[in-house]
Amino acid sequence: MTPQQAADLVGEASAMVADWIARTGHGGRALTSLVLRSLKQAYYDHRNLGHAGLASPRYCHFTSPIRRYPDVICHRGLLSAVAGEPAPDASWVAAAGPWTSAREREALTIERAADDVASCFLLERSLAAGGDREVAFDGEVVGLIGAGAFVAFGERLQFEGLLPVRRLGGDWWELNEQATMLVGTRRGGTIRLGDPVQVRVDRVDAPRGRVDLLPADAGEDNDG
């Protein structure tokens, strides 16, 4: 597959997702994320390999003001060229690519964890202000693992929690190979990315950034 064919395929998939969201009113977060995750993750490299997203055969990572260490590397190289000084050592630049790519991944993980913790504290405050922890929320499935479904819920889907399969009861759920659907092996039910669901908050562990959910119609003794 050529880069152009890959871009055309992603564009077609994006159009199909947009059409589905417009018709059903749900699935925006999960399905859009699924398209993005299908793309190869960007990384820093000392070789000028171009930029797939921009469809450019030449690309230099450069921002002003400086926001990332790779920007500093590019600034140093350009300033050296302007001043007529030797360019930065090629081996150092080559080693900086994998190192900065790894740091970017780590920073993103920390950022997401911090967002989860902050969201949990906001959820606790919202539940306390409402005075009713049994309230049901409209939500939609935004992620799936063997243990359950991650559900975004709230007025703007601003909160997220895990709905464990053990809380669904009456069936044995298995995750399909593409991690897009949980399938009930006994009754044949399905839980798919983008599905609308109603949930209640079971437990909030704010310091760990975790929210455990229950089906909105679950009884207190429903352990599956």
Tally of domains within the chain: 2
Domain that holds residue 211: 136-215
Tens digits of per-residue pLDDT, 6-58? 778 888 888 998 898 898 888 888 888 887 777 777 888 888 888 877 778 88
The letter for the amino acid at 28 is G
Q: Is residue 69 located within the same domain as residue 157? A: no
The confidence score (pLDDT) of residue 64 equals 76
CA–CA dist 213, 146 (Å, integer): 16
- Angle formed by the axes of helices 69-83 and 90-130, to 10°? 150
Asked if residue 223 belongs to a domain, the reply is no
pTM above 0.85, yes or no: no
Tens digits of per-residue pLDDT, 170-200? 788 999 998 899 999 888 889 999 999 999 9
- Boundary of a domain, candidates 51, 82, 105: 105
Asked if residue 119 belongs to a domain, the reply is no
Percentage above 90 pLDDT, the chain:
43
- Boundary of a domain, candidates 85, 105, 125: 105
CATH code of the domain containing 178: 2.40.50.140
Q: Is residue 18 located within the same domain as residue 63? A: yes
The confidence score (pLDDT) of residue 222 equals 44
Q: Is residue 101 located within the same domain as residue 143? A: no
What is the pLDDT averaged over residues 69-98?
Answer: 89
Asked if residue 65 belongs to a domain, the reply is yes
Question: Is the model more confident about 128 or about 169?
Answer: 128
Q: Is residue 74 located within the same domain as residue 149? A: no
Q: Which residue has the tokens 């009113």?
A: 25
Q: Is 194 left (phi over 0), alpha (psi -120 to 50) or beta?
A: left
